[in-house]
Amino acid sequence: MHSWHTTDTAAPQTSQEIDPYRFPGAWYLGGRTVDTLTDSAGDYLLPAPDPRERVPYVLPIGDQRRLEVQTALTAAGVAPRPGDFAAIDALCVLEDSAFSTVLRWITGG
């Protein structure tokens, strides 16, 4: 077995010396907190969106069902192919009980 050893390279001293792709969580450096890893580039985090400003939109039932079928197929390991969309559309017009039964068959639940 190989034993652990240290190298002679010095630890990074500034945020510019830290590789953000190699150390994505390196926010604490040498006893001080680094404000941002990309402070020299002028990048900053955007504020969270205000939920009160969200546009009210309800997805039509056919689109909701299409997403449910595609999600269930993908989760089951069967990614829908481009030619399968006609069959998915046919499933989306089934009545509620038949549609939920088909989804239960796909998901194994």
pLDDT (tens digit per residue) in 37-91: 445 556 778 888 898 988 888 999 999 999 999 999 999 998 888 888 899 999 9
70, 91 contact by CB (below 8 A): no
Enclosing domain of residue 22: 11-42
Between CA 69 and CA 106 the distance in angstroms is 8
Would 81 be classed as within a structural domain?
yes
Output the CA–CA distances (angstroms, integers) from residue 76 to 24, 73, 86, in the order listed.
Answer: 32, 5, 19
Would 65 be classed as within a structural domain?
yes
In this structure, are 67 and 99 located in the same domain? yes
Q: Is 29 helix (H, G, I), strand (E, B) or coil?
A: strand
Cα dihedral 79, 81, 87, 93 sign: positive
Could you tell me the pTM of the whole model?
0.50
Would 88 be classed as within a structural domain?
yes
Number of domains in the chain: 2
Between CA 28 and CA 98 the distance in angstroms is 56
